[in-house]
Amino acid sequence: MGNMSKLDKIFIETGYAARMIKEAIEMKHISKLDRVFIETGLAAQWEADGEQHKAFSIAQNMVKLGLPIETVISATELDPEKVKTLYQVSNNN
């Protein structure tokens, strides 16, 4: 999966999610989507993705404020490589 485009990854993830939903509905006779999303773990994944997005946005703002990289990493608990990338992008602009 290393050289896949973002679109390819989305298609794969969407297909996987659709299979999980179909299996949950067939196996457990679940009719409400919210229960399907919980049973398949998709709700938890989406929540985690949302938290990561929030942390990334906060890190971007902290970088713009000129805070030290160690502070940003500590405060957001993001992967240090992601935070370093934010600083590199910031320095190029």
d(CA 77, CA 27): 38
pLDDT tens, position by position, 31-54: 666 777 777 787 888 888 888 889
d(CA 36, CA 57): 30
pLDDT at 35: 73
Domain count, the chain: 2
Q: 45 lies in a domain?
A: no
pLDDT at 80: 92
Q: 18 lies in a domain?
A: yes
d(CA 90, CA 5): 24
Q: 76 lies in a domain?
A: yes
Same domain? For 63 and 35 the reply is no
Same domain? For 63 and 91 the reply is yes
d(CA 46, CA 43): 5
d(CA 36, CA 32): 6
Same domain? For 35 and 65 the reply is no
| pTM listed for this prediction | 0.55
Same domain? For 59 and 23 the reply is no
Q: Which domain holds residue 1?
A: 1-40
- 39 near 30, Cβ under 8 Å? yes
Same domain? For 27 and 54 the reply is no
pLDDT tens, position by position, 6-39: 666 666 666 776 777 677 666 666 566 677 777 7
Same domain? For 29 and 66 the reply is no
Other CB atoms within 10 A of residue 72 CB: 24
- 40 near 24, Cβ under 8 Å? yes
pLDDT tens, position by position, 59-86: 999 999 999 999 999 999 889 998 999 8
